[in-house]
Amino acid sequence: MKAINVSEFDIIKCGVEFVTTAVARPGVDDLLPHMERNESYVYWMQPKGGAIEQQLACICVNGTYYSLNSKLEKAIFRNVRLTRDFQNFERLVDGTRKLVIPQRLFQEKLRTSNRVRRTAARACARVRARARAAALRAETPRLTKRYFHRTFP
């Protein structure tokens, strides 16, 4: 997690500040149990003059803003599933467009979902090939002793 200079960003959506009694900055392992599947802590920021794709998900811990690393992103947004018509933006009540999940995590989820689809397609192709082979075996007559005795005396 890297500290963020808030003056360089516009805040798109505010989250809840995470307050700890620890003097030092809490580590990722300390934050994970509190933030897993809990998007209420996430602040969405966009660079001034930037596009929606440049939005950044971050958290505020004891008054300091930190960008999310990939481990925290995965934990917080674990419940988001990519559907066939998934759009990675949503409109807030005031009409502002916001990302649903961080762009980096979205790209990773797309990559892994494509890998799963390819693996499933290969498995389906194997099943179809086995079914075709079984159908061909069923169509061809079995050459048994009885068959040979009847045809070739």
Report the alpha-carbon distance of residue 56 to residue 91 in Å, rounded.
16
pLDDT digits (tens, 9 = 90+) for 7-58: 999 999 999 999 988 777 888 888 999 999 999 999 999 999 999 999 999 9
| Cβ contact 38:76 at 8 Å | yes
Judge residue 25's burial from the number of C-beta atoms within 10 Å of its C-beta, 0-12 exposed, 13-18 middle, 19 or more buried: middle
Kindly tell me if the per-residue pLDDT of 74 is higher than 90. yes
Q: How many CB atoms within 10 Å of residue 93?
A: 5
Residue type, 39: E
Q: Where are the domains of the chain?
A: 6-102
Q: Contact at 8 Å (CB) between 52 and 17?
A: no
Query: pTM for the complete prediction?
Result: 0.72
Q: Read off the pLDDT of each residue in 111-133 and give the average, rounded to a whole number.
A: 74
% of the chain at pLDDT higher than 90 = 54
Count of other CB atoms within 10 angstroms of residue 4: 18
Q: Is the dihedral of CA 14, 20, 25, 31 positive or negative?
A: negative
